């Protein structure tokens, strides 16, 4: 009985924070839609990019402890993107507006790189998260842009985190697009069957 009470108390304490995260992420929808429409057009399914913010930071404006200095809700490593972002009039990612403009631009850059593979959004998001290695893995799989085929051809190193946890970079990167797809349902405004962009 004591265990049941303890579990109930933990759930009661955690549920409000889940609700707050969802509200926080929903507060980004108008800006994410606007900046992605600028690069992709108005038919872009922006709800995936709100889900991306949830995956990256739970929609919090934070500086990562990943050792590379990723910033903001979209976790942009500005020093890697500084020159390209400057071409878009983005000279820092300290403000929410600049963070979301940068997210849209970096996604668009990844989208252009994935055009050879039918510009599937899962590929775009994985490029955002882990670079262009996914393109090599698609090639190893015969050039077929399917998640389940590419992951079978992934050969990446193990990563040891500060807490001692060890995970393979393949698992981390290929989980990324799956989580975005799943999280997007909370923000979606169009039926999946009517989306103009392919995700999978």
Per-residue model confidence as pLDDT tens digits over 139-163: 999 999 999 999 999 999 998 877 8
Say how far apart CA 56 and CA 41 lie, in whole Å: 24
Say how far apart CA 77 and CA 8 lie, in whole Å: 39
pLDDT computed for residue 186 by the predictor: 95
Full set of structural domains in the chain with CATH: 24-194 (1.10.530.10)
- Give 158's strand partners: 168
Q: What's the first-to-final CA gap in the chain, in angstroms?
A: 46
Percent above pLDDT 90 for the chain: 75
- pLDDT of 3 higher than 70: no
- pLDDT bin (cut points 50, 70, 90) of residue 117 is confident
pLDDT computed for residue 182 by the predictor: 97
Structure tokens at 105: 């631009």
- pLDDT bin (cut points 50, 70, 90) of residue 68 is confident
**Number of DSSP helices (H) and strands (E) in the chain, helices first:** 9, 2
Structure tokens at 70: 């990723």
Percent above pLDDT 70 for the chain: 88
Say how far apart CA 182 and CA 125 lie, in whole Å: 13
User: Quick one: average pLDDT of 50-77?
Assistant: 91
- Phi-psi domain of 111 (left: phi exceeds 0; alpha: psi -120 through 50; beta: other): alpha
Say how far apart CA 136 and CA 199 lie, in whole Å: 19
- pLDDT bin (cut points 50, 70, 90) of residue 192 is confident
> Tens digits of per-residue pLDDT, 164-187?
888 899 999 999 999 999 999 999
- pLDDT of 21 higher than 80: no
pLDDT computed for residue 119 by the predictor: 84
């Amino acid at each position: 009985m004591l265990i049941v009470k303890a579990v109930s108390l933990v759930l009661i304490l955690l549920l409000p924070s889940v609700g707050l995260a969802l509200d926080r992420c929903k507060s980004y929808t108008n800006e994410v839609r606007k900046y992605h429409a600028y690069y992709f057009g108005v038919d872009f399914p922006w709800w995936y990019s709100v889900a991306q913010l949830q995956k990256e930071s739970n929609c919090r404006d934070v500086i990562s402890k990943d050792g590379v200095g990723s910033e903001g809700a979209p976790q942009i490593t500005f020093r890697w993107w500084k020159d390209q972002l400057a071409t878009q009039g983005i000279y820092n990612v300290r403000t929410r507006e600049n963070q979301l403009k940068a997210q849209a631009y970096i996604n668009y850059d990844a989208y252009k790189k994935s055009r050879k593979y039918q510009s599937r959004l899962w590929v775009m998001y994985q490029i955002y998260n882990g670079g262009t290695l996914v393109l090599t893995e698609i090639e190893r799989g015969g050039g077929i842009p399917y998640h389940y085929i590419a992951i079978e051809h992934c050969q990446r190193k193990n990563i040891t985190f500060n807490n001692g946890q060890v995970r393979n970079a393949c698992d981390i990167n290929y989980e990324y697009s799956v989580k975005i797809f799943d999280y997007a349902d909370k923000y979606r405004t169009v039926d999946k069957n009517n989306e103009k962009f392919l995700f999978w």
